[in-house]
A and B are shown apart, each in its own frame.
Chain A
Amino acid sequence: MKVQELKQEWFGNVRGDVLAGIVVALALIPEAIAFSIIAGVDPMVGLYASFCIAVVIAFVGGRPGMISAATGAMALLMIDLIADHGLQYLLAATILTGVIQIIFGISKMAKVMKFVPRSVMVGFVNALAIMIFTSQLQHFVNETWVMYALVALTLAIIYLLPRITKAVPSTLVAIVVVTVVAVFGNINVGTVGDMGALTQQLPVFLFPSIPFTFETLMIILPYSLSLAIVGLLESLLTANIVDDMTDTESNKNKESRGQGIANIVSGFFGGMAGCAMIGQSVINVKSGGNGRLSSLVAGIFLMFLIIVLGGVVVQIPMAALAGVMIMVAISTFDWSSVKNLAKLPKTDAIVMVATVIIVLVTHNLAIGVLAGVLLSAIFFAAKISKVKVTEELVLRDQKKIYRVEGQLFFASVSDFPAKFNFEDSVKEVEIDLTNAHLWDDSAIGALDKIEMKFGQNHVKVIYTGVNAESKQLKNKIGGLSNASGH
């Protein structure tokens, strides 16, 4: 990379980046803690992850100004792994996730994103929002009205404060206020401290203490694959949003590779897997950040705050974090998709809803996305497999012309021969393929079958309007099956 360009990406917007980075760090802390709690690990795991990922991505990411850290989408994928095998396996899975993402990046898999249809992406974010929301419900079990009141207070501050001032992130103010109310009001509610230890230390480099066996690999591989896919999906979506917000371009393959490197580092330093965050990236850009420096400042300032203020952080009531998570869920959800559900093409709506349902049933965003892609592929095949055949009789020549319109391939040819009348008493049949395209051997097979059936009635078949590509295919395959037929 040219020095000039690199300098611009780092120091082109120092003031804006530093200020925005500080704002992001403040907004990141509650989320990193809450996502750790969702995953079922100590808050430090999410905080270390956010620190490592934000700092590493600043150097190796492909989208300056985008914020990556511990995220809800990733946390939701690791719940079972942690519950069944513990933290060390999560760290190993995080490292493996990074390796897979680097492979994706090197093999330019960012392009594969285009195979994920919009309706699946919308289903993905909606399912994510619903899962973040439902993950908070456990904190309300057996709680009194105090819990509800504190959550309501948190949400009120989050949504109303920006109308008065935007100088400080409203989530932070909400957390400070609710914590102060709980501590000084002697209100006995669950706190972050109850959910796990918070050590005021810098992360240290460690190999995960797991047996390095094939069995271990088989335990973590499915999780790592899911994490790698979901991480890239959300990161590339976020990169596109930041691209649009800042009206600039980014390097998606470099970003994939960068996400991989960041996750490997996170895993070795005791952090969980993460990815880009839509909400935080939006906060960053809105606060004036658009360079690499913003992500670096966010990461370092976050760690600094934890080391200095760790003792205070443990006193944050869970109610405040639950409020923040509800806000995250609300802003993640794509409300326009509900508003426009009736207006969407029916198949798009079905794919979107199916993706959401499959995620909610399997508790796995990756499975939902794969199923959604598969379902839309089936719908697409069904849609383009409609083949129209019109016929015209030329009395003078005792000839019939069939005009075929559409795509001939395995899904469309099953009822194709039925559209021809083999009992006609004509001498010759012309099949006009001007508006058709032959895609595979099933298409050739179907034409051969039609030709053979007409042949049984001593009707000659000729083809017209075969395009070059189809002709090539027909010569390659058609000749073979014809030779045996006649």
Chain B
Amino acid sequence: MFNRILLAVDGSENSLRSARYATELAEKFNGTIDVIYVVDSSTAKEDVLHATNKFEIEKKRKEKLKPMRELLEKSGTDFYTHVLHGEPGPEIVEFANENAIDCIVIGSRGLNELQSFILGSVSHKVAKRADCPVLIVK
């Protein structure tokens, strides 16, 4: 049922928690995981400013996802990592819809109503627009 799972991460402690759910799910259904990390414009700005070259930017992003990769490697599930560029919400939805993803696993930052009004909730947007079931990990 859930053969291809999309795990959306941002390198935070929060997304590690969603990774645990994703691996459980993958193991149960013998599925694969596509890890998606979206670099938005402000992250791009920050990363470029703090790195001397392209190679270093890539290295830093890989490092950011290292705990995630280790966790997935330990679980033994087949997984692929993708670094996409753009706005997180639409990018995740687009990837899921185009690649016939069966389930999206995504963390919620736990913002209150005012915060999510100002900052915008990625998990909300994904849940609203994706064609497949979405598991929001709190």
Contact = CB atoms under 8 A, between A and B. Distances in A.
A237 B46 CA distance: 11
A142 interface: no
A286 B42 CA distance: 11
Interface string A236-250: 010011011111000
A365 B85 CA distance: 31
Chain B interface mostly helix, strand, loop or mixed?
helix
Interface string A157-174: 001100100000000000
Contacts of A246: 85
A237 B50 CA distance: 11
A244 B39 contact: yes
Interface string B2-45: 00000000000000000000000000000000000001010011
A240 to B, nearest CB: 5
Contacts of A282: 41, 45
A118 interface: yes
B96 to A, nearest CB: 19
B48 A237 contact: yes
B48 A240 contact: yes
A285 B118 contact: no
A241 B51 CA distance: 11
A486 interface: no
Contacts of B117: 163
Contacts, number: 50
Given A163-B117, A285-B41, A286-B87, A122 B47 contact: no
Interface string A6-49: 00000000000000000000000000000000000000000000
Contacts of A159: 118
Given A245-B44, A247-B85, A282-B45, A160 B118 contact: yes
B49 A286 contact: no
B122 interface: no
A334 B43 CA distance: 11
Contacts of A336: 46, 50
Contacts of B47: 244
B34 to A, nearest CB: 18
B57 interface: yes
A160 B120 CA distance: 10
B118 A241 contact: no
Nearest to B58: A244
A398 B45 CA distance: 62
A244 B39 CA distance: 9
A247 B87 CA distance: 14
A163 B118 contact: yes
A350 interface: no
Contacts of A334: 46, 49
Contact of A245 (B49, B85, B118, B120): B85
Interface in A282-318: 282, 285-286
A5 B92 CA distance: 30
B53 interface: yes
A282 B118 CA distance: 20
B49 to A, nearest CB: 6
Contacts of B112: none
B48 A241 contact: yes
Residue from B47, B50, B52, B54 with most neighbouring chain A CB atoms (10 Å): B50
A237 B49 contact: yes
A124 to B, nearest CB: 9
Contact of B49 (A114, A118, A243, A285): A118
A122 B44 contact: no
Given A163-B120, A244-B44, A122 B87 contact: no
A227 interface: no
A269 B13 CA distance: 54
A278 interface: yes
20 contacts: A114-B52, A114-B53, A118-B50, A118-B51, A122-B50, A159-B118, A237-B48, A241-B44, A241-B45, A241-B48, A243-B54, A244-B48, A244-B54, A244-B85, A247-B85, A282-B41, A282-B45, A285-B41, A286-B41, A337-B50
The 4 closest A-B pairs by CB, nearest first: A244-B44, A282-B41, A240-B48, A241-B48
Given A117-B52, A241-B48, 19 more contacts: A114-B53, A118-B50, A118-B51, A118-B52, A122-B50, A163-B118, A163-B120, A237-B49, A241-B44, A244-B39, A244-B44, A244-B57, A245-B85, A245-B86, A285-B41, A286-B41, A334-B46, A334-B49, A336-B50
Interface of B: 39, 41, 44-54, 57, 85-87, 117-118, 120
